[in-house]
Amino acid sequence: MTKRTERLSSEFRKEIAAIVAGPLKDREPELSGLVSITEADVAPDLKTAKIYVSVYAKDEAVKENSLSIIRRNTGFIRRELSRVMHIRTVPELTFLPDNSMEYGSKMDELFAKLHKEEQ
């Protein structure tokens, strides 16, 4: 990844997080759970970007619903990005689930359990 795509990925992640934190489309229900944009992977040709979304919630249905709301608002998010970013074209956005926080939480629980068993 070049310095430019690294910088753009970081800016996209930051700006998308700010957009998602605010209200999306007028009639959309609010996002449930803790929603975080964990990574933005912008292609070198700047035509596409994979945006990784982590939703921390107890219920799997809440996670799926929040990701679905974000995906339905892809066009809105892209338009908002075009207003705040100063680049010629905004790439096509693909929102993907990022389960790394959930994985990390499970690993912490396992380590804590192992540590208790050793004592």
- What pTM does this model have? 0.80
Domain containing 38: what range?
3-118
Domain count across the chain: 1
- Please compute, for residue 11, the number of CA atoms within 13 A of its CA located in the half-sphere on the CB side: 14
**CATH number of the domain enclosing 74:** 3.30.300.20
Q: pLDDT digit string (tens) for 59-105? A: 888 889 999 999 999 999 999 999 998 888 899 999 999 877 677 77
Q: Which two tokens stand for residue 3?
A: 């310095």
- What confidence tier does 26 reach under pLDDT thresholds 50, 70, 90? low
Tokens 């249905």, residue located: 61
